[in-house]
Structure 1
């Protein structure tokens, strides 16, 4: 599967691959990429089941295989990887399967423990899916996810392209996620982030990453929600640039111990 990918920045600059969250697509990285594309080669694909690939069925295995091919063809070698939510989980699978293709990594809001009740939740999704395309529900979901008003049009477009089967596949993969065993020996320096306003479980998951990966650190971003790359892009871009350069992260971040 070939992934549609927006590429910007100098061809000779260090490449960074940005992986979006579930239910949205590559546009969610626009404000961060705008702040980094003068110094880095930014690769922003749409993952299967999202955006321009809404007709495809998402799986971590399929996404990782397509990403590995994208890295080889578009970057010609290792890239740094940044992922949020579902994109963060995908980044972890990519590191576990192809550590030689990843230089350094930043993941934010990663769920790393499986959640119970996938079966009943899938039934509920099928029953309620007809409401998902109603304007009032689109706006409610955007507010719940922390999508700023200026990105509502992009969020609406992605939502209207989503199928019930596609959404079900994304949710099932997300809820069943477990840390791949290969991560425990992966040498990739990893920065695990969680917003201070996110669920406590995601803070626990960030701490899990710092404890289980040999080259990982975890930080809380005070006051940040799940999609803080959209409403705090200056800080997000500064964090990415610092980690890629192996420099101290901005002082706003609080270490998780």
Structure 2
């Protein structure tokens, strides 16, 4: 299956591939495109059932999402790349790095978990039921509350409207499919097998993926560097300059 992609920057430059959070799309990476596309080929993938990408068949796993990403990159002539994932996109990125390790030069995992404990899985099932019964609108304001600090939300109404529109535009089928596999997440045994250089980015105010949890997450990866950013969950939006600078420093090492 080939997914929708958005490509910016010189074709001959090193490639950075970006995978977005649930209920968003490749558009989430807009703050990173302009600064990074001057030096890199920036490839933003719409994950299955999000943005302009069709959903995968029922019962698709993280491995299926990862293979769809890898197949899409091959279709666009992208064989070697650094991979950046945010939240759900980072969960998929871990599987890409496991299943297609020879293609991943460097790995950035932002604001994500390696395992979904039972109480959190129950919350995801509640969210799936709400979307199935009453639509994606049920997820908008609660997601924004989790994704941004109150101070940022109050000071940035246009940015919140932009993210609100991405959530509202997410197909319900795509959200439910992604939520279902997030509820099954257990990549704990995968982390020690990630042998490429890895950057783990946390939001210092992130309640969904707390900084302390992310530090432990990074400690399980052999070649990981940890950086905390002044943001909640969508750190690339709330702290775009710090997020972009961290990626550039890491890729340039």
Partner of 2:171: 162
Instruction: Indicate how the Cα distance of structure 1 residues 119 and 100 shifts in structure 2: closer, same or farther if over 3 A, else same.
Output: same
Question: 1:93·1:180 contact (CA, 8 Å) conserved in 2?
Answer: no
Kindly report which structure 2 residues correspond to 1:156-235, keeping only aligned pairs within 5 A, or say none: 156-163=165-172, 165-179=173-187, 181-199=189-207, 202-221=210-229, 223-235=230-242
Partner of 1:78: 80
Partner of 2:246: 239
DSSP 3-state at the match of 2:168: helix
| Alignment TM-score, normalising by the size of structure 1 | 0.83
- Gaps of at least 5 residues in structure 1 are 247-257
DSSP 3-state at the match of 2:82: strand
Question: 1:50·1:158 contact (CA, 8 Å) conserved in 2?
Answer: no
Instruction: Indicate how the Cα distance of structure 1 residues 203 and 116 shifts in structure 2: closer, same or farther if over 3 A, else same.
Output: same
Partner of 2:137: 133
DSSP 3-state at the match of 2:76: helix
Q: Could you tell me how far 1:101 is from its partner in structure 2?
A: 1.0
| Residues 151-160 or 85-94, more deviating | 151-160
Partner of 1:37: 37
Instruction: Indicate how the Cα distance of structure 1 residues 180 and 74 shifts in structure 2: closer, same or farther if over 3 A, else same.
Output: farther
Q: Does 1:8 align with 2:12?
A: no
- Gaps of at least 5 residues in structure 2 are none
Q: Could you tell me how far 1:98 is from its partner in structure 2?
A: 1.1
Number of positions where the alignment pairs a residue of Structure 1 with one of Structure 2: 242
Question: 2:111·2:203 contact (CA, 8 Å) conserved in 1?
Answer: yes
Q: Could you tell me how far 1:124 is from its partner in structure 2?
A: 5.6
Instruction: Indicate how the Cα distance of structure 1 residues 225 and 3 shifts in structure 2: closer, same or farther if over 3 A, else same.
Output: same
Question: 1:51·1:158 contact (CA, 8 Å) conserved in 2?
Answer: no
Q: Does 1:17 align with 2:43?
A: no
Looking at structure 2, the residues matched to 154 and 201 of structure 1 have their Cα atoms a distance apart, in angstroms, of 19
Question: 1:108·1:194 contact (CA, 8 Å) conserved in 2?
Answer: yes
Looking at structure 2, the residues matched to 155 and 52 of structure 1 have their Cα atoms a distance apart, in angstroms, of 17
DSSP 3-state at the match of 2:113: coil
| Alignment TM-score, normalising by the size of structure 2 | 0.84
Looking at structure 1, the residues matched to 86 and 74 of structure 2 have their Cα atoms a distance apart, in angstroms, of 22
Q: Could you tell me how far 1:231 is from its partner in structure 2?
A: 2.6
Looking at structure 1, the residues matched to 41 and 69 of structure 2 have their Cα atoms a distance apart, in angstroms, of 16
Looking at structure 1, the residues matched to 190 and 251 of structure 2 have their Cα atoms a distance apart, in angstroms, of 22
Pairwise CA RMSD: 2.5
Looking at structure 1, the residues matched to 67 and 101 of structure 2 have their Cα atoms a distance apart, in angstroms, of 13
Looking at structure 2, the residues matched to 199 and 187 of structure 1 have their Cα atoms a distance apart, in angstroms, of 28
